[in-house]
Chain A
């Protein structure tokens, strides 16, 4: 069979340009809607700690964690080998989607790491021990899963779940051999009784084994190549460039490459020719959790809307706000695109600016180190120019139809 008469296959990439919470969900939904049930959304970094909100015209709203944000549009989800799977959380999310009548098809690369309850516990204990020097972690064990998976003896991937007939024995091994060594390496002393109770809970272990059985029935093992026939391919990034493990400010970063690095590898394997990369930012900067946030100020001086997705939680604290710094934005995006182009990726670049409806007549931003003000429409154009994007998308509300200039 020859593809000669077909145009070369392409794909969209959605990447957060900030610290997360940029509006990747709504854009992913809009792009996936073009392929409907023949679209596939590929998660290429992060794990279930992502929270991508999609709101439908009829008011249905879901925060996508584990499932690709194209599911409302009918898109399948492919969890790549760079995605960390969490059977506990997937079950809850699927149940929530099912209540809205959505049953997405989900496939996972056999190489994708899988989180155990003990990774989550280590993460929570370590983060609590840091006191007010917290890293801003979600407590879901994402980084700890990757750390454990560096050790073949303790590694657990999606492809190993069916092979691992004695999953319970493997879990015991992780609990009794890996976890104490890891806690010691983190400098954590004897655990308080409440933690020990969790640690030794037979019910937690048994529940997790059930969740894995459910996960295996619900999620298909599939190689990356299985997405090749899709009508629309959308790479959905999690977190943002400013949290990238190599680019962001350590230690308040996520343990993943949030930009095009992983995408470049997957795209090469799929033989995709054309790539449109859209970096997403709000009209202002936000940060969830600890760490550097330039031009920080009260939310009320920037926008009107309280953010529904990011309720304050014990691990991350409340959502923080700052004026958008176009110099930092251009630097981050330029860095990301530069790497990808040097890696040989053919791409066009776009900028999406969301939450323009929330900022009133004018909003403060920073360019060349100086604070300025502009109307929201002007800001989108100025920012696209500053980051040298070839085009831009404007987000004037939480729904698919609120995206303007999306060609």
Chain B
């Protein structure tokens, strides 16, 4: 016993402390990037087969944490990706999923444009999610550095699914803005801690990542930038990813959309995948999968090369 100090004053304080912005932030007191998530200080992230996970599959979820996403950025990292992670572990659209989460910003203006967790085979990943810093940056440069996860995946991950079994991992970026066309040599050096011989275009980095990963982008169409200028956003993405730009009209259904996308990429029928969800979720998933080319009974769409081979 001996707690019980909750009264009218407590409620006033509780209500007031919310309006002045006490939020999850107070518990998740991160105010700068933790060293363990700094890509410049990471040599290699590994996804390895083990007794418990004999057929591991690497899955990377990279979410935009810039200001244009507003409160959604935090919700996405703390809650959306948490749910997605649990959904993937539970529904296993691929064998033995090993999940890595990235927080993505803007290489041209942010202090921490990219943060990277470990690959994890279970919900221990949640602890790392709590440690990611929501910088809330981004700039007026009409785009974010969604290509940073591609570069990291290509140069600083080592995954058994591909190296031992020739099966690619999955890499999802999630956000509301156009993708910046590329990154300067100086910014590459700043973010990744190594000096490359030149800057790279987004297409370069996509090509690098696509050797080892099936790459998708989830475009949040009802959020921030995309909500007002959806066509402009889509125009920056389509030439790169074609059908692999997945439009998602409800950010609360991100988990289902990602799991469904993987299932379809693994050969499932889009219409039956959509039907496996209930109510409005089924509609959101069906809309999202539409771009993957599965209409009605048209065969499985394993869009490994949906728009011709990418340069390697």
Contact = CB atoms under 8 A, between A and B. Distances in A.
Given A94-B27, A140-B6, A213 B15 contact: no
A309 interface: yes
Interface in B92-108: none
Given A91-B27, A207-B14, A220 B123 contact: yes
Nearest to A194: B8
Contacts of A20: 1-2
Interface in B1-42: 1-8, 11, 14-19, 22-24, 26-29
A95 B16 CA distance: 18
B8 A138 contact: no
A216 B83 CA distance: 10
A193 to B, nearest CB: 11
B19 A314 contact: no
B273 interface: no
B16 A165 contact: no
Contacts of A91: 26-27
A213 B28 CA distance: 11
A239 interface: yes
Interface in A112-133: 117, 120-121, 124
A50 interface: yes
B4 A315 contact: yes
Contact of A210 (B11, B23, B126): B23
A213 B24 contact: yes
Contacts of B268: none
A313 B5 contact: yes
Contact of A63 (B2, B15, B19, B26): B2
B188 to A, nearest CB: 32
B11 A217 contact: no
Pick from B5, B6, B18 the residue with the most CB of A within 10 Å.
Answer: B6
Pick from B1, B28, B79 the residue with the most CB of A within 10 Å.
Answer: B1
B1 A120 contact: no
Interface stretch (A70-78, A197-205, A334-342, A352-360): A197-205
Nearest to B12: A198
A201 B8 CA distance: 13
A218 interface: yes
A95 B27 contact: yes
Interface residues of B, number: 34
A249 to B, nearest CB: 16
A85 to B, nearest CB: 14
A289 interface: yes
A373 to B, nearest CB: 28
A313 B8 CA distance: 13
Given A201-B11, A204-B14, A49 B27 contact: no
Interface string A307-324: 001110111100000000
A76 to B, nearest CB: 13
Contacts of A229: none
B294 to A, nearest CB: 25
Contact of A51 (B2, B18, B130): B2
Contacts of A121: 11
Contacts of B17: 207
B170 to A, nearest CB: 22
Interface in A87-129: 88-89, 91, 94-95, 98, 117, 120-121, 124
Given A51-B1, A316-B4, A162 B83 contact: yes
Contact of B15 (A165, A203, A239): A203
A138 B4 contact: yes
Nearest to A286: B1
Interface in A1-57: 19-21, 48-51
Contacts of A268: none
A88 B3 contact: no
A137 to B, nearest CB: 8
A406 interface: no
Nearest to B86: A162
A138 to B, nearest CB: 3
B3 A138 contact: yes
B129 interface: yes
Interface string A294-330: 0000000000000001110111100000000000000
Nearest to B87: A162
B49 interface: no
A81 interface: no
B143 to A, nearest CB: 29
Nearest to A307: B2
Nearest to B256: A165
Given A198-B11, A204-B11, A204-B14, A214 B6 contact: no
B4 A217 contact: no
A79 B253 CA distance: 29
A259 interface: no
Given A206-B18, A210-B23, A217-B126, A50 B75 contact: no
B252 A165 contact: yes
A89 B5 CA distance: 11
B46 interface: no
A217 B24 contact: yes
Given A198-B8, A210-B23, A21 B18 contact: no
Contacts of A89: 3
B18 A207 contact: yes
A217 B6 contact: no
A258 to B, nearest CB: 11
A162 B86 CA distance: 9
Contacts of B130: 217-218
Contacts of B252: 165
A307 to B, nearest CB: 8
A315 B29 CA distance: 33
14 contacts: A19-B1, A49-B3, A51-B2, A98-B29, A138-B4, A162-B83, A198-B8, A210-B18, A210-B23, A214-B27, A214-B78, A218-B27, A313-B4, A315-B4
| Top 5 closest pairs, chain A to chain B, by CB | A138-B4, A51-B2, A207-B18, A20-B1, A203-B15
Given A203-B15, A214-B78, 19 more contacts: A50-B1, A50-B3, A51-B2, A117-B11, A138-B6, A139-B4, A162-B86, A198-B8, A203-B16, A213-B79, A214-B27, A214-B28, A217-B78, A217-B126, A217-B130, A288-B2, A310-B2, A313-B4, A316-B1
